[in-house]
Structure 1
């Protein structure tokens, strides 16, 4: 649901640009028949519901809105390289690191995006519930309606005509209308049915419910409804002739001034803005064929430009066009590489760098480094001979090439999970700056942060927060819990006394997550699960879910619970 919410947010932001273009176009077409602006609103709702669009060279959508410039989090699964001192275990896979959502304020393990996604879903449910209640009340109100002919029904407790139903739409009109009012309103509603307006408006309403948080979407829905009504009025005038304008507007005004009965559906064809409808009817004139064709072409062109994204390859550069038609290999060599290809290129470099790091391959790291004269200054590099280097140490070390990379522009953040045979895991975070030279990527090691003693909430976030989620080592999936339980059960010497840290949820949370300087208390405990409140020195706190994976009771060890 979280990913769906984020995708919806992206589509909603992109659609804001489309809405603004349609609003400007609508203003320019204020004297044109409303059918054109009505049709253009469909572009907005297609954009709001469809995450994928074709590409074209003439798209009006800015590249910044369609290219994913946000952080890219990539989980890398590589070969297992076993440390000589490492605890025997299975190859680390993606499931070895499970994510536990945590709120930004540190009060519970729910990410901010999860909270927002829940609020978003609640809003949709509330709107649909409101629609359902209104639909039920309206059905109850018209249950006594009398059939006049075919699909036309008269009811004495409604104020305005409307169409109701999807598969067999019915027209409901108020009782005691004059003959003119009755004929005009039936003709008006029949146009709605013929054009399938009732289906389009229903779909548009449900799409609006999905994007309920975006005020521009609501503006689009209501303006689309007004344009729908006015274009329908124009069609009635076109069918019955311009001579009925006065009597038709009088009928609209008469019906609009009737007492409001309530319980009208959001998707019903209401009276809309009567003043604007009357003004539009009085100013409506049938356009010459040439002008109509010109407007059709204009609307088609605008729709095409708004329903497509910019080409990822610069169409103005013939070399790029030629290379895009040959192969991806040629495309990656162009100077104007697309954002998507560039991201893949950077990710491939990040993988090479991280693999060289975890395998302690000094030669590979040296080749990947841009400022080679600074290579010997790294905190893990030793120059044992002129021009010959060694890198890293034996323990703790992220021997398994199991890491997470985060790419922000030309900066790569790599999260390594250093292990010792106790067993225990510590997060290392390396910062690498990317430089491109002659179409080849190089990197410079900026720093490595070691989170073996986390004494503040800021450090906690730096160690475990990746985008909107928190990622912790899963001791159960790493197969650490069995051996920890076995050793904790034994009468161990002082050298192994730290296994007693796992005997209570307070000390286990502090030890596993490398927390230092604060204090932890049990907030709640039930069976083999507990919630620990850990308070840092600065007064901030977090709640940590713990559980007993092997044995329940006073002899069972405790580890962090990953949801």
Structure 2
């Protein structure tokens, strides 16, 4: 495996490749297979990153000099680590700000908390939404808990901290969170097909709010309400075997490509002595 600076470069390049592919395919996949299958496309990203971490050995090959050789490797790792810690601090400050607003009744609807999840509703919810609308909101947030979205978002937040200097990471998180909400909408409406209008009215009353890093918000601001409401007409059922096969095949293909494109590592020889090339010369022709 390459050293730390080179590995960081390879991981960031793989992230950009995987995110670009997902961004290009998420909308067509949503129209053909439904929001839940489109959300599954995001599995391409962590699988690609994991593939890059696997070594690719090549005996007898020549390793090109590092593209980061002009900068001390320890300095690169130190700057990257400091940025990741600072970005994590900003996330925690955002999470604490949300908790303070929740105590004042100014946040939500949302679910938050990885270890002990809880539902957050704004003050005067019984006035803003009808009982049927509140039931749909609770069903939506309960679906997040059933699907494990809080734990998934915690992993996504960690990756965002690790790739703090990569703009593709921040673009990906925004689109990922929106696709997560669409998939959750589809799961709720799959068992309540006659509640699309009430569901849309509840969304419009809530407006758009930014979800916390360690939570799932009802009105995520990373996408438009028009797109979200329009997705109610798409396929809301679980992905078909064809959709699962397409998504899985794409994920494996991108991961294999990223793994094959990374520089090969030369196997170190156990014998430190120089190799002697023995040539047999043929006698000159008469």
State the TM-score, normalizing by the size of structure 2.
0.77
Q: Which residue of structure 2 aligns with residue 265 of structure 1? A: 212
Q: Which residue of structure 1 aligns with residue 92 of structure 2? A: 132
Q: Which residue of structure 2 aligns with residue 16 of structure 1? A: 16
Q: Is 2:34 aligned against 1:33?
A: yes
Cα 1:311–1:141 shift into 2, 3 Å:
closer
The alpha-carbon deviation at position 310 of structure 1 amounts to 8.2
The alpha-carbon deviation at position 229 of structure 1 amounts to 0.3
Q: Which residue of structure 2 aligns with residue 247 of structure 1? A: 198
Q: Deviations over 1:152-187 (max 9, x none)?
A: xxxx222x3111111221111223232233111111
Identify the match of residue 214 of structure 1 among 166, 185, 200: 166
Q: Is 2:117 aligned against 1:157?
A: no
Counterparts of 2:8 and 2:191, CA distance in 1: 41
Q: Deviations over 1:179-235 (max 9, x none)?
A: 233111111100000000011011011112101111122222111111100011111
Question: Is residue 5–residue 77 contact of structure 2 (8 Å, CA) maintained in 1?
Answer: yes
The alpha-carbon deviation at position 301 of structure 1 amounts to 1.6
Q: Which residue of structure 1 aligns with residue 188 of structure 2? A: 236
The alpha-carbon deviation at position 294 of structure 1 amounts to 1.4
Q: Which residue of structure 1 aligns with residue 115 of structure 2? A: 167
Q: How many residues align?
A: 264
Q: Secondary structure at the match of 1:168?
A: coil
Q: Which residue of structure 2 aligns with residue 187 of structure 1? A: 139
Counterparts of 1:185 and 1:297, CA distance in 2: 32
Cα 1:70–1:223 shift into 2, 3 Å:
farther
More helix by share: 2
Q: Secondary structure at the match of 1:187?
A: helix
Identify the match of residue 118 of structure 1 among 53, 78, 81: 78
The alpha-carbon deviation at position 278 of structure 1 amounts to 1.1
Q: Is 2:144 aligned against 1:176?
A: no
Cα 1:50–1:161 shift into 2, 3 Å:
farther
Cα 1:157–1:24 shift into 2, 3 Å:
closer
Counterparts of 1:340 and 1:114, CA distance in 2: 22
Structure 1 segment 87-486 matched on structure 2, within 5 A: 111-143=71-103, 156-158=105-107, 160-177=108-125, 178=129, 179-241=131-193, 243-256=194-207, 265-270=212-217, 271-272=219-220, 273=223, 274-281=225-232, 283-286=233-236, 292-308=240-256, 343-344=266-267, 355=274, 367=278
The alpha-carbon deviation at position 50 of structure 1 amounts to 6.1
Question: Is residue 95–residue 213 contact of structure 2 (8 Å, CA) maintained in 1?
Answer: no
State the TM-score, normalizing by the size of structure 1.
0.42
Cα 1:68–1:187 shift into 2, 3 Å:
farther
Q: Deviations over 1:262-313 (max 9, x none)?
A: 8x523432323222111112x22456x9x8221122112212223335898x
**Structure 2 gap segments, 5+ residues each:** 282-286
Q: Which residue of structure 2 aligns with residue 549 of structure 1? A: none
Q: Secondary structure at the match of 1:171?
A: strand
Q: Secondary structure at the match of 1:308?
A: helix
The alpha-carbon deviation at position 9 of structure 1 amounts to 2.1
Cα 1:54–1:157 shift into 2, 3 Å:
same
Cα 1:116–1:181 shift into 2, 3 Å:
same
Counterparts of 1:6 and 1:117, CA distance in 2: 10
Question: Is residue 37–residue 243 contact of structure 2 (8 Å, CA) maintained in 1?
Answer: yes
Counterparts of 2:133 and 2:21, CA distance in 1: 37
Question: Is residue 112–residue 215 contact of structure 2 (8 Å, CA) maintained in 1?
Answer: yes
Q: Secondary structure at the match of 1:307?
A: helix
Q: Secondary structure at the match of 1:269?
A: strand
Q: Which residue of structure 2 aligns with residue 71 of structure 1? A: 65
Counterparts of 2:258 and 2:84, CA distance in 1: 32
Question: Is residue 173–residue 185 contact of structure 1 (8 Å, CA) maintained in 2?
Answer: no
Counterparts of 2:200 and 2:183, CA distance in 1: 14
The alpha-carbon deviation at position 69 of structure 1 amounts to 5.0
Q: Deviations over 1:456-508 (max 9, x none)?
A: xxxxxxxxxxxxxxxxxxxxxxxxxxxxxxxxxxxxxxxxxxxxxxxxxxxxx
Cα 1:5–1:190 shift into 2, 3 Å:
farther
